[in-house]
Amino acid sequence: MKFARTTALVIYALTALLNTGCVTTQIHKFRMTVSEAPEVHGANTQQAPHSSSWRFTGKVNYNAEKNVDISEDIYETADLDRLFEKEIKFKDAAYEMGGLDFSGKIDYLYKGKSFVVGGGLGYKDGLFSHLTMGANFTHFEFGTFIGTYSQYSDLEYWGETGEDCGDDDGECKTIGDHTSRFNASFFAGLYAGFYFDKLFFNLSVSSYGPNSEIEGIHLDTPGIATGYLTAGYRLNRWLEFSVGGVFTYIGTSDWHDNVGVTGGISLYL
């Protein structure tokens, strides 16, 4: 029965391929704003065993403004229903990123003997949330995290679509749009921290793949990985400040990068 059904599907697909033209979508211009991946880190100090803490953080971030060419690295997500029916081509596609932005975040951390669990909710060009798991010791900590990032993006494109579009006897119609929308993605990463008395240093690396859709077609766009290298000082039990650098890598075939700076304050409860 399974063999017969598979054979029928193959015959149907080949018949469709031979008897219908290919619906081609040519995107002449595609622009999508994207943000650096969110920052996540640990307690920035040795947390007492069997204790919990709340942290409220506000930061100012600046990254160099940059257009990253992704024309050779953007694809239609595989869809078997359209395998023999549609094709999408990008002539000029780019990420628009960088500039000045503000971010805010609420973290909760609970420590057992050495093991730490927690979570966070924040805003950086859109809402993100995450779960954290790691370990916290006398002078260092490390961990991992996973979450969702609902990024608010500006999307602009225009092009043509139609059956056998591009051939002399093909028929094309113009398509295009300029809109802003939330695009939900998963993000994940690792962090490590070192602290001595009131001084601390952090490394946080996270990555995500921006999601997008045009004309009902889901797109597979290059991933973005961001590293935050920061140093800070705990003024007292409740207040700390930090500054540092931001390094972003875009997973195109040429591996573009971008740099920036970040700084902010945190309040502990």
**pLDDT tens-digit profile of 19-56?**
455 677 889 999 999 999 999 999 999 999 999 999 99
Nearest to 137 by CA among 93, 96, 192, 84: 192
Tell me the two tokens of residue 230.
């920061």
The pLDDT value recorded for residue 1 is 47
Question: Where residue 101 sits, what CATH number does that domain have?
Answer: 2.40.128
Which residues are 151's β-sheet partners?
Answer: 126, 183
CB 98 within 8 A of CB 64: yes
Closest CA to 24 of 86, 76, 83: 86
Bridge partners for 227 per DSSP: 205, 247
- pLDDT tens for 177-229 read 999 989 999 999 999 999 999 999 999 999 999 988 888 888 889 999 999 99
Res. 112 pLDDT band, cuts 50 70 90: very high
State the residue range of the domain holding 246.
Answer: 1-268
In angstroms, rounded to a whole number, what is the distance separating the alpha carbons of residues 207 and 40? Answer: 11
pLDDT, averaged across the chain: 88
As a whole number of angstroms, the distance between CA 170 and CA 152 comes to: 37
Residues 6+ apart with CB under 8 A from 46: 136, 137, 138, 139, 195
Place of tokens 């697909």: 13
How many distinct structural domains can be found in the chain? Answer: 1
| pLDDT, tens digit (0-9, with 9 covering 90-100), for 122-169 | 999 999 999 999 999 999 999 999 999 999 999 999 998 887 675 656
- CA-to-CA distance for 128 and 36, rounded, in angstroms? 12
Q: Is 61 within 8 Å of 99 (Cβ atoms)? A: no
Pairing assessment for the beta strands 217-220 and 93-111 based on DSSP bridges: unpaired
The pLDDT assigned to 77 comes to 65
- Does 87 score more than 80 pLDDT? no
Name every residue whose Cβ is closer than 8 Å to that of residue 136 and which is 6 or more positions away in sequence. Answer: 42, 43, 46, 47, 111, 114, 116
d(CA 44, CA 231): 10
